[in-house]
Structure formats: C-alpha cells, structure tokens
C-alpha cells in the first residue's frame, strides 16, 4: 500500500519514537514516548512541509505495517520498534 495517507488525528510517529536531531523548540531532539512540541492538540504537525522539520520526519512515510488499523495499533508498533532498536 504505497499511497497510504497519514491518519488524521493520529500523531503516533510524533510521540512514540525518539528523534536525535534538533526540532524547533526541542534543540536536543525528543526522547521516545515524549510528545513533540510541534504536535498540536489535534495531533497535527505545526512544521509539516517546512524546511525546519527534521529530515527523519520528512523521510518517514506511512505504511500499513507501521500505522495498522488504528492510532493505538500505530503507537504499539512504534513503541515496540523503538525498544527493539534502542542502543
């Protein structure tokens, strides 16, 4: 499913994984499980499409495996992936 769109109001990929590069408002990056400061109350990225958005975020594309069928499934998958790849 290559044309999968982000699920409106999900935000799982902006909460579950750690981000080691600078994010506006989070110069040291973001720890796993911490909500990104750029994520709005309705779980939308305030810097989506802007040059200051971290490369890792720009390159991440939704997939059926990652997103599952619900926000809860996406969070579970991403938390497990984060744990499996933690140093």
CA nearest to 39, candidates 9, 14, 20: 14
Q: Is 5 helix (H, G, I), strand (E, B) or coil?
A: coil
Chain segment 61-83, per-residue pLDDT in tens: 999 999 999 999 999 999 999 99
Does pLDDT of 3 surpass 70? no
Chain segment 16-56, per-residue pLDDT in tens: 999 999 999 999 999 999 999 999 999 999 999 999 999 99
Does pLDDT of 1 surpass 50? no
pTM: 0.86
d(CA 73, CA 35): 17
DSSP 14: G
């Amino acid at each position: 499913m290559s044309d999968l769109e982000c699920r409106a109001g999900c935000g799982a990929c902006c909460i579950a994984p750690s981000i080691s590069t600078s994010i506006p408002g989070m110069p040291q990056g973001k720890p796993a499980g911490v909500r990104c400061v750029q994520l709005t109350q309705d779980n939308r990225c305030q810097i989506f499409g802007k040059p200051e958005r971290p490369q890792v975020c720009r390159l991440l594309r939704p997939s059926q495996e990652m997103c599952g069928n619900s926000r809860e499934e996406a969070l579970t998958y991403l938390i497990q992936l984060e744990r499996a790849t933690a140093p």
